[in-house]
Structure formats: C-alpha cells, structure tokens
Amino acid sequence: METAKALLASGKVQIYRAGVWKPRTRPSGFEGKGKEALEWLLNVKNQTGLLTAVEVGNPQHVELALKYQVDVLWIGARTTVNPFMVSEIAQAIKGTGIAVMIKNPVNPDLNLWMGAIERIHQAGIRRLAAIHRGFYFFRKTPWRNAPMWEIPIELKRICPRLPIIVDPSHICGKTSLIPDISQKALDLEMDGLMIEVHIHPNEALTDKEQQLTPQQFDDLINQLVIRATSPKSNDETLERLRLEVDKLDQEMLEILSRRMAMIDEIGHYKNQHHITILQIKRWRQMLADRLESGSQLGLDKDFLQQLLQLVHDESIRRQQIILNPHHDNTKED
C-alpha cells in the first residue's frame, strides 16, 4: 500500500501491477502469496483508484482475479510457451472482455509469441497488448534478458495496432541499466513501460536488484524524452534524407543481385570441376578481411558479421541447388 500511494502521488502511473503467483524454476523460491495478496490488491484499487494487473498461469487464477476485480491480466513468459495452458486461459476469460497482456516467451520465437496472442484474440478478447521482457540468449550480455529489438519491431510491423509494452526491469536485471532501455523503448515507438518499483527494494523477496524506489522511478520518468512518432508534413530535410536512403537501398539490392549472379557462376564452375561448395579457409580469410574493412568504414563489427553470415548462407544455398538440382535444398522453417 505504501508503494501504491507513492506511485499515485507521482501522477505518472495508470496501472498497478503485482505478481500474486510467481512461477519459479526451483520450488524453494518465493512463489507469491496467492489469494491473500489479491485482497491487498483490491484494497489498493479501492484506496487509490489505480487499475490493477495480475499475472495468471491457469484458469483458477483467472477465476480468482476476476472475483477480486482485477482490471488487467497478463500471461507470463513461462506460460506463453505452453499452447495448451494458453488455450485453457483463453477459455476461462472468454466473454469477460477483460484486458490481457501477453509477455514474449523466454526464447526468441516470434511465432510462439504471436500464437499466444492469437489464441487470446480468438477467445473474443479485443483489449490486447504484448509485453516485451527480453529473451534468453546463450551469449553473455550486459542484460538479464537480451532485448533483441528486432523481434518486437517485427511484431509491430505485422500487427501495427497491437500495443507493445516494454518491461525494462526484466530486460536489465539491475537498476543502473533501466534508464537506457526505457529511453530506447520510447525511441523505437513502443507504447508504454512496465517498471518494477518497491518502497524498500532491499527487502523485496525477489528480484531486488532490478527494482526502483518510487523516487528513482519519478526521476526516471522525468528524464525520459518522448519524441514525435511522425515528422511534420513539410519536413523537407527529413524527406530529402529518406529519398537518399531509398536510392542507396536500391543500389544495394542491385549489388546483391550481381553478387548472387557471380555466386551462381562460381557454383557452375565448382560443379564442372568437382570442387566442394564450402571452402572454409577462403571463408575465414574473406570474413576477416571484410570485418577489418568494415570497421575502418565505421560499421559495427557484430552487425557486419551477421550481415556477411546471411550473405554467405544464401551463397551456400544457391550453390547447393546448382550441384544437387534434384535434392530438396529449401530453407528450414
């Protein structure tokens, strides 16, 4: 209640979110207070007027949340990966009209995320939002969960009317990184932020490293820059720059087309002279040379390596078709 009143006083919060049931990897971890905490949440709603939100993991959770007048349900990352459970939750909320937010799955799988959204939509729920909370990544990153912005951006492209709320707390895992991720979310035209706040973070039973105090939260919101989502209709400078980008993109596509035509010639030569497709020594040397040249041109190494890998993979695929025209060389899903 103390945290809720502090957030209400800031005037910057519309929905008060609390984890009543917390799925944990190990049973020894704190798993929430359950029904007892729903009573606390209802008191928050009655005393502050804030809307309330709760995570639900099964139909029984839904039933209890509705009983305690919860305004928004969210489906957590661990539940999103289970189509059977999402379907059961969808049936439980059918006809209620309640607002539902769906977190992305732990692994970077856009189809799985969209599948959960579609199941809830098919249950007749129209007040929907997606929550981007980052993804598990096998490489070490500064974040608890790698942002992988390309995935929520692609979701926004496919579903332009679906709001996407970013959860900087779960992406970052520590408070020092939250301002940067929050600003980046707004700069990428995401639709809102879900940030963990605790009146006494050091006393929190879970995730204390990623929770802001109400004052830190207030300072963060005041520092964020909210930019225009579209330029002025008479912005000639931006229009000129965009036309130049369009021109460069067309040139880039034409160069890629010529490169692939050259790859086809190489494939036919290898086929005639019985040479293997993959020349690993050549690939390593070429990659090293291109990365060095690209770095001198100011290109990010990781970006360039991913781009070169994509081009190389396509080159291999085209040569496979030439050397084995009767085999199925289609790309995997």
- Give yes or no for residue 56 having a pLDDT over 60: yes
Of 176, 199, 223, the position where a domain reaches its end is: 223
At 297-316, the pLDDT tens digits run 999 999 999 999 999 999 99
Identify which of 19-28, 137-146, 317-326 has the greatest average pLDDT.
317-326
Please state, in angstroms and as integers, the Cα–Cα distance from residue 298 to each residue in 179, 229, 293, 321, following that order: 26, 28, 9, 35
Calpha distance 234→76 (Å, rounded): 43
At 230-259, the pLDDT tens digits run 766 677 888 888 889 999 999 999 999 999
Mark 59-76 as b/e (b = at least 16 C-beta within 10 Å): eebbebbeebebbbbbbb
H or E stretch at 165:
strand 164-166
Token pair, residue 167, equals 């959860």
CATH code (residue 265):
1.20.59.10
- DSSP per position, 18-63: E-SS---SSTTS----THHHHHHHHHHHHHH--EEEEE--SHHHHH
- Give yes or no for residue 25 having a pLDDT over 50: yes
Beginning with the edge strand found earlier in the chain, give each strand of the sheet holding 72-75 in spatial order: 15-18, 51-55, 72-75, 99-103, 128-132, 164-166, 192-193
Please state, in angstroms and as integers, the Cα–Cα distance from residue 93 to each residue in 15, 37, 42, 50, following that order: 20, 21, 19, 22
Confirm whether 230 is domain-assigned.
Answer: no
Task: Report angle CA 16, 21, 24 to the nearest 5 degrees.
Answer: 120
Q: Between 90 and 333, whose confidence is greater?
A: 90
φ/ψ region of 331 (left if φ > 0, alpha if ψ in -120 to 50, else beta) reads beta
Half-sphere exposure of residue 136: CA atoms within 13 angstroms, side-chain side: 7
Q: Are residues 154 and 294 in the same domain?
A: no
Total domains in the fold of the chain:
2
Q: Are residues 67 and 31 in the same domain?
A: yes
Of 171, 190, 223, the position where a domain reaches its end is: 223
CATH code (residue 67):
3.20.20.70
φ/ψ region of 51 (left if φ > 0, alpha if ψ in -120 to 50, else beta) reads beta
Of 223, 254, 274, the position where a domain reaches its end is: 223
Confirm whether 59 is domain-assigned.
Answer: yes
Q: Are residues 196 and 314 in the same domain?
A: no
* Model pLDDT, residue 90: 97
Report the pLDDT averaged over residues 7-17. Answer: 91
At 100-146, the pLDDT tens digits run 999 999 999 999 999 999 999 999 999 999 999 999 887 778 899 99
Q: Are residues 215 and 304 in the same domain?
A: no
- Give yes or no for residue 331 having a pLDDT over 60: no
Q: Are residues 160 and 87 in the same domain?
A: yes
* Model pLDDT, residue 333: 41
Confirm whether 119 is domain-assigned.
Answer: yes
Token pair, residue 65, equals 């949340």
Calpha distance 62→90 (Å, rounded): 10
Confidence band, pLDDT 50/70/90 cuts, at residue 30: confident
Q: Between 59 and 277, whose confidence is greater?
A: 59
Q: What is the mean pLDDT of the chain?
A: 91
The reported pTM is 0.78
Report the pLDDT averaged over residues 163-173. Answer: 96
Confidence band, pLDDT 50/70/90 cuts, at residue 279: confident
Please report how the helices 150-158 and 110-122 are oriented relative to each other, as an axis angle in degrees rounded to 10: 40
Q: Are residues 123 and 152 in the same domain?
A: yes
- Give yes or no for residue 205 having a pLDDT over 60: yes
Token pair, residue 333, equals 């899903």
Confidence band, pLDDT 50/70/90 cuts, at residue 66: very high
Calpha distance 181→187 (Å, rounded): 10
Residue range of the domain that includes 174 = 2-223
Confirm whether 329 is domain-assigned.
Answer: no
